[in-house]
Structure 1
Amino acid sequence: MILIALGANLPGLDGSEPRATCEAAAQALRRIPGLMVSALSRWWLTAPVPPTPGAPWYVNGVARCEGDMPPPVLLSALQAIEDAAGRVRAYPNAPRTLDLDIVAMGDTVRAGPDPILPHPRAHLRRFVLQPLQEVAPGWRHPSLGRSVEELLRGLPEEAMRPL
């Protein structure tokens, strides 16, 4: 099982809303050779983390996929989708037109080179885990051995709501 987080909080290059950009990205995932999208969470409206004054709220979701490809190949494909959506990496946690993160690829644990797996901060982010639970209930973090439900119980509430 491959878990991919999708998010956006800036208009797309064509002026489209962040949700439309995320929906287009989910369709683009379906066109990656060797990757099959088996489930897509609801879209969630979430406050920026860390809080950034004046930054628009995000649209976030998680795709559950199946496939057998090397992590760097998947990362490259995701970055190409981000680039096509106008992603600019101005500074860490900057607002963005699209963000695609590999949360996990099965039980793979790797410290580098990129991508680091599982994602080094996903277990700390309700905006990732809440939609992840929708597509992969009972999922266990490969490094921590804790279920998504356990991880969620350990997190503070965040400003977020389903769309």
Structure 2
Amino acid sequence: MTETPNPNIVDADTITGEMHPIRRVVLSLGSNLGSRTDNLQGAVNSLADTPDVWVTAVSPVYETQPVDAPPGSGPFLNAVVLADTTLSARTLLDRCLAVEDAFGRERVEANGPRTLDVDLIVVGDRRSATDELTLPHPKAAERAFVLKPWFDLEPDAELLDAGPISELLAKIGVDGLTLKEDIELTLQ
């Protein structure tokens, strides 16, 4: 995964300027409250409508049991979106949070049920370890509901600092994932 086709382009995250690098982004979507399919499709549409974000692919949808969630939490629908962007990681995170809020996301308890979850998994080869943003996503290598949909789109992809997603997926398996063949998220 390269940050930009031209390594000589100035990084606008650190230097103000007109040139912005193009980064490949992997986003994970999840919903276990409300109209789960509509929530996921709405997230895809909202991301595609974001200036300087070009959604290039959307994975199949999987139903999964909640991980580390409170008792009684319902199953999730999960998908992965691939996009290219010139936005900074922080600006993209702000957009993801705004999309979640637009779909009624309430942040009451950690890992609690939610109408929509939009997580940044990787943003180019960016690394971040702040309270607001950790890149790559710290739990992505352990989550089949992230790795399997991503693998469906890019079987040769690698998770920064963790290795090929095919190997990570082989280690953790796909138990608990059910492909929802009757649900297809579309690009506008």
1:64–1:136 Cα contact (<8 Å) kept: no
Q: How many equivalent residue pairs? A: 157
2:148–2:174 Cα contact (<8 Å) kept: no
Measured on the aligned residues, the alpha-carbon RMSD in Å equals: 1.2
Which sits farther off after the overlay, 72-81 or 50-59?
50-59
Q: Give the greater-gyration-radius structure (CA).
A: 2
1:109–1:143 Cα contact (<8 Å) kept: no
Report the identity percentage.
Answer: 32
* TM-score in terms of structure 1 length: 0.92
Paired with 1:136 and 1:114, the residues of 2 have a C-alpha distance of: 27
Which 5+ residue runs of structure 1 have no aligned equivalent?
12-16
What is the identity, as a one-letter code, of the residue corresponding to 1:120? Answer: P
1:92 has 2:110 as partner: yes
2:69–2:111 Cα contact (<8 Å) kept: no
Pairs within 5 Å for 1:76-91: 76-91=94-109
1:117 has 2:135 as partner: yes
What is the identity, as a one-letter code, of the residue corresponding to 1:152? Answer: L
Paired with 1:56 and 1:117, the residues of 2 have a C-alpha distance of: 28
Secondary structure, counterpart of 2:159 in structure 1: coil
How far the C-alpha of 1:51 sits from its partner, in A, is 5.5
Secondary structure, counterpart of 2:134 in structure 1: coil
How far the C-alpha of 1:50 sits from its partner, in A, is 2.1
* TM-score in terms of structure 2 length: 0.80
Paired with 1:80 and 1:21, the residues of 2 have a C-alpha distance of: 13
Which sits farther off after the overlay, 148-157 or 37-46?
148-157
How far the C-alpha of 1:71 sits from its partner, in A, is 0.7
Which 5+ residue runs of structure 2 have no aligned equivalent?
1-23, 181-188
Paired with 1:138 and 1:119, the residues of 2 have a C-alpha distance of: 19
Paired with 2:52 and 2:98, the residues of 1 have a C-alpha distance of: 16
How far the C-alpha of 1:143 sits from its partner, in A, is 1.4
Which sits farther off after the overlay, 133-142 or 93-102?
133-142
